[in-house]
Structure formats: C-alpha cells, structure tokens
Amino acid sequence: MIDLPRRAFCLYVGSGAPPIGTHGQDAHATTPSSRGTGVPPVAHGQDAHATHGANPYLPVQRRQGAYLPHWTQEGATYAVSFRLFDALPARILGQWVAERDNIVKTARQMGRELSDSERERLEHLYSEKVEQWLDAGHGCCFLRDPRVAELVTKALLFFDGQRYELLAWCVMPNHVHVVFRPLAAWTLAQVLHSWKSYTSKQANAILGRSGEFWQDEYYDHLIRNEADFERQVRYVLENPAKAG
C-alpha cells in the first residue's frame, strides 16, 4: 500500500505544457506557493485523522443528468472528471451510454436502486469506454496550451478552503481530474458549474474563439471509504504517466 497523504494535496501535470511557475504569482490564490506546478504532492497536515468515505448514517441523493446518474451526500468527497466538448467521439459515447442504460434498466425493472456491484460495473465501463479515449488525446486538446492550463489550474485553487477542500487533481490535454469535498452550503453541481462557466469564457477569450468549450455533462464518483479514496487519488496522480 502506498502511504498517501490524508488531506489537501495536489499535483499539476501541465497537460503537455511546460511548468508555469508557482501559485504565489496569483494575488488571489488561497494556497501556499509550495503547491505550485512541478512540485511533488504535498500534505498540509491540517488533519491527520480526516476521513473521506461516505457517511452510512446520511441519505444518498440521486439526480439524473443528461447521460449520467449523480449520487451525492452531504459532507461527501468526490472524484470528478470533466472534459472538453470534442474530447469524446459521439460513437464511443453512444456505446457507453447503451451499455450503461442496460445496467440501469435492469435495476429499475426490479424496482430498486443500483447495487454496489452494479455501480462498480458502471465505473469500470466508464474507465473502459471513456477514459481510454480521453487519454488518447482525441479532439482539439486546448488544455495543452500553457495559458489555458494555467487558467484552469488557478480556477481549481482559487476557492480551495472556502467553497471546497481540494485533495488531488491533474490537468490533462483534453480533460481534468479532481478529488475534492464541497464545504458549507456548496454542492457538487455548484462547484462544477463555477469552474466550468468561468474557465470556458476566459479560455475562449485567450484562444480568440467562441462557442462550446467543456462538455455539458461531467462524471462524478461518490467516494465510499478510505480504500476507495486512496484508489481514486492514486488514479489521479498516476493518470499522466499512464496516458503517456
């Protein structure tokens, strides 16, 4: 088992672009410059006993998105991926949606929610059908531009400790992975909307273009326990090397 930090660490992988310096250059940044680009993951040590699993005593809410069901819980930690608008071919997305719908349909016909094994199957399908295509670098890959990568990086860090606890993250050429926990009254959907809305407008201005930037839908996984947390963080930190 890898000894992973238990709280607040991050990594910027540059999306194929060179390092962009430390976050101390941003006057509005809320995190130390030691979390800048090109440095190893850093544990702040603010809470060595923090846990990141789902609370068995609180209800889990379900919301149906355009393609994905979203499970949320108050105080939960999530692993989230969001991608550029053209990062996934429609054919691949269609194949994945069809297989996903078969799993969901079976549960509905039996009048029940998805079982843990079915949720795990959905996650496996996402990794098998979607993540492999994302890692192949399909589409325009705007995040390879260091200016855009820096924009997204600063957006992730800006409200860390205020609206959410940022635990692990990486910026890839056509998608972003984040492990975080919403704070106070902020919800998963609100945090994602804030990140995507701000960065899409600013990135289009940087690139001198208009129109779609991010895919509307995003993938989120409610982290169930500490082992799941470690697995999700490990995936984020190792994704750049695996993607090549």
Model confidence over 171-220: pLDDT tens digits?
A: 999 999 999 999 989 999 999 999 999 999 999 999 999 999 999 888 88
Residue 127 pLDDT > 80? no
Answer whether 41's CB lies under 8 Å from 11's CB: yes
Strands (E), the chain: 61-64, 69-72, 78-83, 164-171, 175-182, 219-222
pLDDT tens string 29-70? 333 322 222 222 222 233 333 456 555 544 455 555 445 555
What amino acid occupies position 11?
L
Residue 20 pLDDT > 60? no
Give residue 129's pLDDT: 66
Give residue 21's pLDDT band: very low, low, confident or very high (50, 70, 90): very low
Euclidean distance between CA atoms 124 and 154, whole angstroms: 31
Q: Are strands 61-64 and 69-72 parallel, antiparallel or unpaired?
A: antiparallel
Ordered by start, the domain boundaries in the chain are 14-59+75-87+140-243, 89-136
Q: How big is the chain, counted in residues?
A: 244
Strand order in the sheet with 175-182: 164-171, 175-182, 78-83, 219-222
Nearest to 133 by CA among 175, 97, 100, 98: 175
Residue 24 pLDDT > 50? no
Answer whether 7's CB lies under 8 Å from 48's CB: yes
Nearest to 11 by CA among 233, 165, 186: 233
195: enclosing H helix or E strand: helix 188-207
Euclidean distance between CA atoms 177 and 236, whole angstroms: 6
Give residue 97's pLDDT band: very low, low, confident or very high (50, 70, 90): confident
Q: What would the mean pLDDT of 102-127 be, rounded to a whole number? A: 78
Q: Which CATH class, in words, describes the domain spanning 14-59+75-87+140-243?
A: alpha beta
Neighbours of 239 (CB within 10 A): 19
Q: Look at residue 79 and give its three-state secondary structure.
A: strand
Euclidean distance between CA atoms 165 and 168, whole angstroms: 9
Higher local confidence (pLDDT), 131 or 228:
228
106: enclosing H helix or E strand: helix 90-109
Higher local confidence (pLDDT), 64 or 135:
135
Higher local confidence (pLDDT), 240 or 156:
156
Answer whether 63's CB lies under 8 Å from 69's CB: yes
Task: Look up residue 129 and give its DSSP letter.
Answer: I
The lowest-confidence range among 72-81, 88-97, 212-221 is: 88-97
Give residue 99's pLDDT band: very low, low, confident or very high (50, 70, 90): confident
The lowest-confidence range among 3-12, 83-92, 175-184, 216-225 is: 3-12
Give residue 90's pLDDT band: very low, low, confident or very high (50, 70, 90): confident
Residue 160 pLDDT > 50? yes
Residue 10 pLDDT > 60? no
